[in-house]
Chains A and B, each alone.
Chain A
Amino acid sequence: MASLDDLKKRISSVKSTQKITKAMKMVAAAKLRRAQESAEKGRPYSDKMNNIILNLSSGISDIENAPKLLSGTGEDKIHLCVVMTSDRGLCGGFNTNIIKKAKLYFQKIMEEGKTLKIITVGTKGYDQLKRAYGGNIIDRISFKESKNVNYFDADKVGKLVIEKFEKKEFDVCVIFYNQFKNVITQIPQEQQIIPLKTSDEETNSSDDNYEFEPEEDEILNNLLPKNISTQIFKAMLENSASEQGSRMSAMDNATRNAGEMVDKLTIEYNRSRQAAITKELIEIISGAESL
């Protein structure tokens, strides 16, 4: 059995860890509120953007001349995966979940004999992927310096992706991020952004006759790159809300576990203290008896 001194040290160390996790939980809770708010505020923009593009693409008459960003290169050989993770750890399964999802996809691609290229956003993703897929990572981006998610960072990523697309470096682009559902649940998502997947949800609005100025193709050409940045921005917002939520619940658990541990250790400490006293008493009594 550990000595009394050891136990005492253990208890105080667990207590100070508990203080740290508690503080981190508070910070995450405060940040979560802000992140959640901006994620919600950002939704109308990306929704509207999506709507307009849906309307536009259903209005396009000849598919052959449609912009490449919409219809794809016609091939399906090189896949670019943008894996978005956090820059900081201690947030539970947040990063691991995205990576797991991404790795599944990577394996599928590899098995089909296609080429895989990876861009990581956020340092944690790079750390986790570099061992298995180090050779596939063509770029890594981190926004450690910027405090809040802002559109210009997302735009940088978007422009990078488009630049690579125009150089024909890949055919299909998929982004991975965590969608924020609530504090306990974050759902890892994969979303294909190039070529744009016109989801089958609603084709009902296509009967509106829009007037376009300038021509449809020109608007689409302008709009599609913006849409990519917007989608990435949306993913970043969702991600940051998810990160804080995940961290909050992870730290909450940690605090609770630390509390349990302190309780257990305290009982053990009291027991061994009692045992030591009893032992001493027995020694004294048996010593006295033998006289």
Chain B
Amino acid sequence: MSEEYSLEIVNPEKSFLSKNDVTEVVVPAFEGEIGILKDHISIISFLKPGIIKIFSKSGEDSYYVNDGIIEFKNNNLSILTSLIFNLKDIDKEKILEIQKSTEEELSKSEISDQEKYLLDQKIEVLKSIN
């Protein structure tokens, strides 16, 4: 029996990535990382800024996401996200740029705790990949 399922990542502009031979996907869900294997129970969750790791027959890929929603159903994983990069071809300046704007946002006083948590998380992740 094969251990593969299909994955689709879409952002508002287009369908970003579609694969049929994924064996495991690790996503940075809001309450901690989730690894999804075949025949996982149907799940809906949303993502915090972090790294998506995709393991497939053809190799391993990592992507940075800003936010997103995942839905897993009948061995189909859909990830909706507004901002996504492949870690391989992201350039450092871009990361620094995002990091800077995030820090600015963080320094504003009127943000809620939850937002603060998300922004902190974002900076941490950005630092770690830089």
**Which A residues form the contact surface with B (CB < 8 A)?**
38, 41-42, 44-46, 48-49, 51-52, 55-56, 150-151, 154-155, 208-214, 219, 222-223, 226, 230, 233
Can you name 15 A-B pairs with beta carbons within 8 Å?
A: A38-B14, A41-B13, A41-B15, A44-B10, A45-B80, A51-B71, A55-B44, A150-B13, A209-B42, A210-B73, A211-B42, A212-B43, A213-B45, A214-B31, A219-B69
Shortest beta-carbon distance, A52 to chain B, in Å?
A: 5
In the bound assembly, the distance between CA atoms of A44 and B14 in angstroms comes to 8
- Contacts of B32-58 to chain A: CB distance below 8 A: 34, 41-46
In terms of DSSP, what is the predominant structure of the interface of chain B? strand
Is B46's CB under 8 angstroms from A222's CB? yes
B5 lies within 8 A of chain A by Cβ:
no
Number of A-B contacts (CB under 8 A): 73
In the bound assembly, the distance between CA atoms of A278 and B74 in angstroms comes to 88
Q: Across chains A and B, which 6 residue pairs bring their CB atoms closest together, nearest first?
A: A41-B14, A151-B12, A213-B45, A211-B43, A45-B10, A210-B42
B85 lies within 8 A of chain A by Cβ:
no
In the bound assembly, the distance between CA atoms of A155 and B82 in angstroms comes to 10
B29 lies within 8 A of chain A by Cβ:
yes
Given known pairs A45-B80, A223-B69, the reply for A52 and B44 (CB within 8 Å) is: yes
In the bound assembly, the distance between CA atoms of A55 and B8 in angstroms comes to 18
- Contacts of B95-115 to chain A: CB distance below 8 A: none
In the bound assembly, the distance between CA atoms of A193 and B80 in angstroms comes to 20
